[in-house]
């Protein structure tokens, strides 16, 4: 149960004064629906209203707060001329300017002959000061309503700065006194304030320096969030390690059959990965290992050889993939190898309905199906295995931890789990995403893979690119043409793809196909099958082809508006070519005018094909929030921590979490009870269920 002292923070924003349905809806879009979401929405700037000069001491462009007397209202002759209210003090005159001003309202706000305090940006017009649309107009006895330092927050349509400040001010009044969950010596070493004080300092910065993520208050908040994340992962890991699995031992005869039939030898890294996995499988605790390898490094064959161990020992294995295209491709790639080993392997996706689905479920339950490959369909409630002992989760960052656990729940005894990713992840983020796992890397590529020639080309040369693609398909080669990502909008992405498809079709006729996320499964499969068979030679696509599509004859990758993609995504897309024996090219088409950051990204792509280096650079250039492309369910969304800045804090949180688990695994101590509050505060409730009550 969530601790009672947190109840006010998890209340709905509509509980705050002045938040009606319209503002509530806008706030939900900007921050979230709860008071806690407002607290995590930190300011990115501030306005200093402490400059309070006489009229004669005004500075152009600076915010000023001053007391003036209203002298006269000057109603404009027409709507193109602004409404002016003439004010003055003993040193000079200050016109207040209002475009489309309502005279009646302004006369009530600024009655002639009375004093008012006004605050806003001063502008000089024809050498004289004026203030256009003051931010604040108050009576002298209401001076306290004008903040001396006013935080500036990111906004959205329907939410003004004043509305948001008022809402956050109301949220801050609900802050409870928290028990201290930090190690006292570590807190003192960094001069970190208490939690409530840190949040107050962060929301009410005194100067520009207070906005720096490395200030003590912001560091403290970032560390709290990272510690909650690392402690939750450590609890999951500890539970996994304590769960009695089963030792999977066999003579590896099935593996030997497959290895003899392979047209290539495994690389030293693949052999090392298999040895590490075999060591885990032979132990009687459940394996939880991450297999990290760059595009085309041969992870799937390693996973398959490990699955054979479970099958030969008399059990079942499952392979969970994030998309139907990828699941189908794994199935088609492994089917002949399974045939060599004399095994029953089947595919289950959302497309399986009625009798065909029931037949698979029956075969799974009675043990006839030894390996099941599929999408989220594998973890649906009615899917039951006879005896699942081994599970592979591909592209884990597309899933959450709890989907992985849902697959594990399908087993009678905790299964061995191998998680794979081809998205190179910096060391920093490996801790964040996979802190609960042992890690194996396959850094090298299989022999014979040729380097991909990567070039950056301006869109002004689009016609040259089209002609170059034409020459390549004339030689029988195939090409991908990826259309730009447009602000995470599937609809606009789709429009871009269809427009380019029409354009290329005018040149190349029926040799061009298109695939995108809104197509139905059978349509996508038909287009992919045509591309694989060479019936179409140019495949126009959105990023739906980013992961796992394998067509060795494809030698050209064109990525339009490459500056809109992250480095990791560009690297994934580039990895779709260079899979056969012919030289391959990746053309990054860019706009004529791009930012320095985008330019730096494209330069790295041109210079390097090392996915791990590219990922490190991507983290530096973009920060962690964007690193894995569009919002991925498995990636923890950090509100207060910036992993590009707080790397040292993440490492410290990792160490601290392990120390806590070693000393107080059930969080019964005084600090442990405070840490339970921390886990609930950052919504790591899933980890709390692994603790003994107390």
| pLDDT per position as a tens digit, 214-230 | 999 999 999 999 999 88
Residue in 135, 145, 154 with CA at minimum distance from that of residue 38: 154
Same fold: 253-442 with 452-608: yes
Question: Which pTM was predicted?
Answer: 0.65
Q: What are phi and psi of 131, to 5 degrees?
A: -130, 120
CATH architecture of 452-608: 3-Layer(aba) Sandwich (3.40)
Q: What is the pLDDT of residue 688?
A: 75
Query: What does the DSSP assignment read for 594-619?
Result: --HHHHHHHHHHHH---HHHHHHHHH
Q: What is the pLDDT of residue 219?
A: 97
Residue in 381, 177, 383 with CA at minimum distance from that of residue 372: 383
Break the chain into its structural domains and give their ranges: 4-46+155-205, 50-146, 253-442, 452-608
| Cross-strand partners of 129 | 124
Strands 83-89 and 92-98: antiparallel
pLDDT tens string 613-650: 787 777 666 554 444 333 333 445 688 998 778 888 98
Q: Tokens 């005004």 map to which residue?
A: 58
Q: Which residues 6+ apart lie within 8 Å of 114 measured at CB?
A: 69, 70, 139
Comparison of pLDDT for 183 and 497, the residue scoring more: 183
Q: What are phi and psi of 104, to 5 degrees?
A: -60, -45
Q: Which residues 6+ apart lie within 8 Å of 164 measured at CB?
A: 27, 30, 41, 153, 155
What integer is the mean pLDDT of 20-47?
A: 87
Q: What is the pLDDT of residue 626?
A: 45
Q: What is the pLDDT of residue 622?
A: 59
3-state helix, strand, coil in the chain (%, to 5): 45, 20, 35
Strands 584-590 and 554-559: parallel
| Cross-strand partners of 393 | 320, 419
Q: What is the pLDDT of residue 402?
A: 59
Q: What is the pLDDT of residue 677?
A: 95
Instruction: Give the whole-angstrom CA distance, residue 88 versus residue 565.
Output: 54
pLDDT tens string 491-512: 555 677 888 999 999 999 999 9
Residue in 355, 358, 335 with CA at minimum distance from that of residue 346: 335
% the chain with pLDDT above 90: 46
Q: Is the pLDDT of residue 523 over 70?
A: yes
Residue in 378, 424, 428 with CA at minimum distance from that of residue 636: 428
| Residue 366 CA: distances (Å) to CA of 344, 402, 459, 645 | 12, 27, 57, 53
Instruction: Give the whole-angstrom CA distance, residue 234 versus residue 158.
Output: 41
Residue in 106, 13, 125 with CA at minimum distance from that of residue 61: 125
State the chain's mean pLDDT as an integer.
Answer: 86
Q: Tokens 């609900």 map to which residue?
A: 174
For residue 439, what is the enclosing H or E element?
A: strand 438-442
CATH architecture of 253-442: 3-Layer(aba) Sandwich (3.40)
472: which 2 tokens? Answer: 């390549």
Q: Is the pLDDT of residue 144 over 80?
A: yes
Q: Is the pLDDT of residue 693 over 70?
A: no
Helices of type H across 98-211:
103-109, 161-172, 184-190, 195-203
What is residue 593's DSSP assignment? S
The pLDDT-based confidence of 131 (bands split at 50, 70, 90) is: very high
Q: What's domain 50-146's superfamily in CATH?
A: Nucleic acid-binding proteins (2.40.50.140)
For residue 559, what is the enclosing H or E element?
A: strand 554-559
Q: At what angle do helices 647-663 and 670-681 cross, to 10 degrees?
A: 130
Q: Is the pLDDT of residue 489 over 60?
A: no
Q: What is the pLDDT of residue 481?
A: 94
pLDDT tens string 284-327: 888 888 898 876 778 899 999 999 999 999 999 999 988 887 88
In terms of Cβ atoms closer than 10 Å to its own Cβ (0-12, 13-18, 19+), residue 135 is middle
Residue in 151, 184, 186, 182 with CA at minimum distance from that of residue 165: 151
Instruction: Give the whole-angstrom CA distance, residue 240 versus residue 259.
Output: 31
What integer is the mean pLDDT of 176-205?
A: 95
Instruction: Give the whole-angstrom CA distance, residue 174 versus residue 414.
Output: 43
């Amino acid at each position: 149960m969530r601790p009672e002292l947190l109840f006010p923070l998890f209340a709905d924003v509509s509980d705050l004064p002045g938040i009606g349905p319209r503002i509530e809806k806008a706030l939900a879009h900007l921050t979230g629906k709860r008071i806690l979401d407002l607290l995590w929405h930190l300011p990115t700037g501030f306005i200093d209203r402490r400059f309070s000069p006489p009229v004669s001491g005004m500075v152009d462009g600076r915010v000023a707060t001053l007391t003036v007397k209203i002298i006269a209202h000057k109603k404009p002759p027409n709507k193109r001329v602004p409404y002016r209210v003439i004010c003055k003090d003993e040193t000079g005159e200050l016109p207040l300017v209002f475009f489309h001003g309502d005279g009646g309202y302004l006369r009530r706000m600024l009655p002639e002959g009375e004093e008012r305090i006004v605050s806003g940006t001063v502008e000089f017009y024809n050498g004289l000061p004026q203030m256009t649309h003051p931010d604040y107009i108050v009576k002298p006895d209401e001076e306290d309503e004008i903040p001396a330092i006013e935080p500036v927050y990111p906004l959205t349509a329907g939410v003004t700065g004043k509305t948001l400040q008022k809402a956050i001010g109301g949220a801050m009044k609900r802050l409870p006194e928290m028990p201290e969950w930090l190690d006292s010596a570590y807190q003192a070493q960094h001069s970190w304030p208490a939690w409530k004080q840190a949040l107050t300092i962060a929301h009410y910065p005194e100067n520009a320096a207070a906005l720096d993520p490395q200030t003590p208050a912001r560091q403290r908040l970032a560390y709290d969030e990272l510690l909650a994340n690392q402690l939750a992962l450590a609890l999951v890991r500890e539970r996994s390690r304590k769960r009695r699995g089963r030792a999977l031992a066999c003579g590896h005869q099935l593996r030997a059959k497959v290895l003899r039939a392979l047209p290539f030898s495994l690389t030293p890294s693949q052999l090392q990965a298999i040895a590490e996995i075999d060591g885990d499988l032979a132990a009687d605790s459940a394996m939880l290992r991450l297999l990290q390898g760059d595009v085309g490094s041969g992870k799937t064959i390693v996973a398959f050889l490990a699955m054979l161990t479970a099958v030969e020992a008399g059990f079942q294995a499952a392979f969970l993939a994030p998309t139907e295209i990828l699941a189908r491709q794994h199935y088609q790639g492994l089917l002949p190898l399974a045939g060599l080993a004399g095994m029953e392997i089947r595919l289950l996706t959302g497309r399986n309905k009625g009798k065909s689905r029931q037949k698979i479920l029956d075969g799974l339950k009675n043990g006839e199906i030894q390996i099941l490959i599929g999408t989220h369909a594998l973890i649906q409630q009615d899917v039951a295995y006879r005896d699942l002992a081994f599970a592979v989760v591909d592209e884990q960052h597309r899933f959450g931890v709890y989907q992985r656990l849902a697959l594990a729940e399908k087993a009678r005894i905790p299964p061995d789990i191998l998680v794979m990713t081809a998205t190179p992840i910096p060391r920093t983020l490996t801790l964040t995403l996979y802190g609960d796992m042992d890690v194996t890397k396959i850094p090298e590529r299989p022999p014979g893979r040729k380097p991909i020639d990567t070039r950056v080309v301006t869109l002004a040369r689009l016609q040259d690119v089209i002609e170059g693609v034409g020459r390549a398909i004339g030689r029988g080669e195939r090409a991908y043409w990826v259309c730009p990502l447009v602000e995470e909008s599937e609809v606009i992405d789709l429009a871009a793809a269809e427009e380019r498809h029409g354009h290329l079709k005018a040149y190349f006729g029926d040799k061009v196909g298109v695939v995108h996320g809104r197509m139905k499964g059978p349509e996508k499969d038909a287009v992919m099958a045509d591309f694989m068979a060479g019936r179409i030679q140019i495949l126009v696509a959105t990023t739906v082809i980013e992961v796992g599509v394998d067509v060795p004859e494809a030698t050209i990758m064109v990525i339009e508006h490459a500056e809109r993609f992250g480095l990791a995504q560009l690297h994934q897309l580039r990895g779709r070519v260079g899979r056969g024996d012919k030289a391959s090219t990746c053309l990054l088409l860019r706009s004529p005018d791009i930012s320095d950051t985008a330019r730096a990204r494209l330069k790295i792509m041109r210079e390097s094909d090392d996915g791990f280096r590219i990922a490190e650079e991507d983290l530096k250039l973009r920060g962690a929030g964007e690193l894995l492309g569009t919002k991925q369910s498995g990636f923890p969304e950090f509100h207060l921590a910036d992993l590009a800045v707080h790397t040292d804090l993440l490492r410290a949180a990792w160490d601290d979490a392990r120390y806590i688990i070693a000393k107080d695994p059930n969080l019964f101590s005084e600090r442990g009870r405070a840490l339970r509050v921390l886990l609930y505060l950052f919504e790591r409730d899933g980890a709390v269920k692994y603790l003994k009550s107390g």
